[in-house]
A and B are shown apart, each in its own frame.
Chain A
Amino acid sequence: MDSDLFEYAVAGLKMKKKITIPVFLVLCVSFSFLIFINSLMGSITKTNDEFLKNLYGEWNIGLPDGRTSDKKWAEGYEGYIEGGTSKNYGFVSVNKKLIGFGTVDEELIDVGRLGLTAGRWPEKEFEIAMEADELLALGYLDETGQTVSLATFLYNNASSEEIYYKHKYTVVGIIKEYTDIWASDAGENTGLLNAVITTDETIKQIQNLINDGENERIILKNKAGFFMKFEKEKTQTIRDDLEKLGRKYVYNKNSEILIENNNILYSIIIIIVTVAAVSIVYMLGLSDMVRSYSVMRSIGATRKQLAKLMMYETVILCVPAVIPGTIFAVLALTLTLKMIVFSGSVKIILSIPWLAIFGEVLLWSGAVAATKYCIYIVACKNDLTGKMQLAQRKAGVYRSLKNAAVYFICICFGIITIYLGIGTEKLIVDRNKENSWATYRIVALDYSVVPTDALEKIKKIPGIKDTYGCYRYIIEYAEDYGYPGAEMLYVTEDAGYTEREFEKQGIDIEGFVNGDLIIVCVPVSEKEDHVIATGKEKLKVFAGVNKMGATPLLLNGDIETTVEVCYVPETMYIRDGLADVPGWTFASYAFLEKHDLLARKDKVGYFIYAYYDGQADAVTVDRTVAALCKENNLFFTSYRAQNEAGTRIVLQRLLKLLFVGGGIEAVTLFLMCSLSALERQSMTKKYMILRSLGMSQRQWRYHNLFEAFICGIVSLIGGWGLYAILYKKDLTVFLIAYENAVNICACISVVILLLSVVIRYCFEANKNKPTFLMNE
């Protein structure tokens, strides 16, 4: 190392404090920000991922009607990691709802992330672990240590008729909710999972007891379900192979890490913004730097020496910025994660993507070096005589670049504000929508209706804030039309539905009368996991979304030509004709006559959705609902875990957006302020010249205000223009699907304009200075 040059570099940096200090601060802050934001995104994503896996299991492919040969085939498949087996020996009737009774192996407990909220897994004969809501539905408490009497219907190897067997069991464990969650996520064709889990010894004992005294030996049969984890890259291949083999399978997409696209987008934005920050700060001191390097060259410094000098200056600034920047970022990350992440039972995962950060640091350092190199090139080409300032012809280019930088930052500010504003609104609405899903579904079977007095009692349960209901028809005939996953709903006023529920979904219920037919339709998407069905005749239908299963839709208005207010979560909104929906294709339409619908024997019956208000004690509400249902021969299903999961995920996304987006916004604002402040020197000169020509301070203020206003307009138009280009589809959906979209956009625009104007105006040079300083 050339120690003399190093000393010069240190001395030079000390003297040029006006540039050195801002550059160092920008380097430190931008580096810290880089690590912090990347790590925050990674940590939240990983924590969310763990949370979802805990809820839906870690398995990704399931074979619900598994055979031993299937298991062997899967275990030998490339990419297989692990798998577990659920053996379903029959079912328990819980108020006519059937829940699986059987065994699971340790591998399934592991890959399925099955957990206990209390107690332990059964080990001895006639010990069981059971889901809490099923215990409550049977009239028992959701506690361990009690003895319960269960009537089981067990599969007979010899015939299709189940064997009835009743016995007492000791509840040793309470299983966290999983069977309904798995069933609703994977589709109801997964077959019965075991909400009552027992041991192989229990099954043997039951077998012996059944055969005790019997002449013909009865052998109990089981239906095995395999739930397996494959490498993520292989899941598509195995699904294709299973389809070729004609095998029924289920796919658990929630098991896979949600590496959201906007993580990558954020990383790109962070790099651009931090690199821009560094480059801009260097650029603004360009003429001073060029002058001093030119002077050095004029007194004999070679180009090589100049390059060395600049390298030392860069290293002296960057290295100190990196080390404290990293320490600060890690500390801030730990603190922030503890404060903001809601993970429930899942431990917060601290994830610092060192490899990605290393790559970004290289890019960032490269940008710093590249900026310095540009200055080096300019300095080498500069005249070594006269005032040695930046050559006049280049001054124009430099000034244009400076102006471009100002407008670039203004546009960045605009688009980031828009992204933040719209993203926040969408997530808040989504969170409210998550809250709008029913907590309980209460069903009466066998064509009976929920008695009015029972409905009234349910409505009065403390903690139940609302109910609505309708008839439900199950899906088999929908499958006949090739539309799996559709549900048909038949509205009746007797059902006690509330107008508000329909209005919440944007449904115009005026004109509905008893007996009106509702057709549930599901749109065909590019991914072909939804289909849409409508009819030729004008029927009154209404729009809504049911998240359980395959996301059906109900359509309002004249089906053939007009679909109003039809909302599918996350991506789509239909209006004024199905063909207009961007990115979606539609299957042919099906039509079901009212009399066809009523004639169907597989009408499931009448059910109610009840909403938990979130204030009362959840366990008490569960127990009260369960007791009421038992009393009235109803059964209920609790979706609390899924609702909470949905809300939690949305909250996490919201916090991520606010922190990451907010952080980038703060950096952009900082850049705008820095640019304005650093431009002050040249603005001061302009100010003095204009003042010497007779411009009053008032005129100067108006001039500043006008220039600030131009920046505001650039932020606004540039921001919206760029956002519309990059996120055309999202913007369209937002404007159509979200109620307050126009108001939100207006507010965002006002904020952008005001902030841009205020920042630029506040930093403009406008102070009197002694005139004799003008010539300096």
Chain B
Amino acid sequence: MEIILEAKNIKKVYYSSAGKVEGVKDISLSIEKGKFYAIIGRSGSGKSTLLHILSGLDRPTSGRVLMSGTDFSEFGDEKMSLFRRRHIGFVFQQFNLLDEYNVYKNICMPLKLDGKRPDKDYFDNITGMLGIGDKLKKYPSELSGGEQQRVAIARALMARPEIVFADEPTGNLDKKTGNETMELLRECSKKMGQTVVVVTHDLEIARHSDIVFHIEDGLLVQ
């Protein structure tokens, strides 16, 4: 199977009021194209930190991250931003939609940043799958949590990224909505052929994943 993302000996050290913290100690992993991954671990285990490094939102203190052979851990800001918006989608726990724009604009934001127009068919496809086609003119403040997360998922998928990262996407949702959201994410991933990496502490989600990475104290345990 094609390796789409590879992390080699990545470490992340940061400093807080508590002193020096090793968020990620020494992790190496590979991600295959088209598969659904889960990274699980307790709170404070370093799973979100790992996700941020893999997705390019943060830089490792040492180590390399390669996507399709490209090492982006050394990219400058401009290049990294470009790379991220074209190749990586991200879904946050807090949704992180832009309150001053409507749903349509939120979804198309990554394309807008790239100076591109959305593909209408693809757009309709995504929004139809996620059930938010009738909510395009609404604002985030007018949507429920589940709806907001679905908008966030649509936004992550809009640029047809090779890989989608989701950081506790169901953390702010009730169980039923959470399950529905995850189902939709899986469905989209299958239909679009995208790789999905989800950070979660929910074992149920992990059970439905193709591969699970278990992280503890900044290290992969399996």
Binding site for B on A (CB under 8 A): 392-393, 395-396, 399, 685-686, 688-699, 770-772, 774-775
Contacts and interface: CB of A to CB of B under 8 A. Distances in A.
Contacts, number: 73
The 9 tightest CB contacts between A and B, nearest first, are A694-B85, A696-B81, A392-B141, A771-B57, A694-B84, A696-B78, A689-B96, A693-B110, A695-B113
Given A686-B98, A772-B49, A775-B93, A693 B78 contact: no
Given A395-B141, A771-B58, A699 B113 contact: yes
B82 A694 contact: yes
Given A697-B81, A775-B93, 11 more contacts: A392-B142, A396-B141, A690-B109, A690-B113, A692-B84, A693-B85, A693-B110, A694-B159, A699-B81, A699-B113, A771-B52
A284 to B, nearest CB: 16
Given A772-B49, A772-B52, A775-B94, A694 B113 contact: yes
Interface in B60-94: 77-78, 80-86, 88, 90, 92-94
Interface of B: 14, 48-49, 52, 57-58, 77-78, 80-86, 88, 90, 92-94, 96-100, 109-110, 113-114, 139, 141-142, 155, 159
Contact of A693 (B52, B99, B109): B109
A694 B98 CA distance: 14
A685 B140 CA distance: 15
B161 to A, nearest CB: 10
A107 to B, nearest CB: 74
Given A686-B98, A770-B58, A771-B52, A697 B92 contact: no
A693 B159 CA distance: 10
9 contacts: A395-B141, A688-B96, A689-B96, A690-B109, A694-B82, A694-B159, A697-B78, A699-B113, A772-B52
Nearest to A682: B99
Nearest to A686: B98
Contact of B96 (A396, A692, A696): A692
Nearest to B114: A694
Contacts of A694: 81-86, 88, 110, 113-114, 159
Contacts of B84: 692-694
A698 B78 contact: yes
Contacts of B85: 693-695
A324 B202 CA distance: 59
Contact of B155 (A686, A688, A693, A772): A693
A775 B92 contact: yes
B94 to A, nearest CB: 5
B105 to A, nearest CB: 12
Contacts of B139: 396
A396 B141 CA distance: 8
A692 B57 contact: yes
Interface centre among A392, A694, A697 (most CB of B within 10 A): A694
A574 B199 CA distance: 79
Contacts of B109: 690, 693
A693 B113 contact: yes
B162 to A, nearest CB: 13
B88 to A, nearest CB: 8
A693 B113 CA distance: 8
B73 to A, nearest CB: 15
A399 B81 contact: no
Contacts of A691: 81
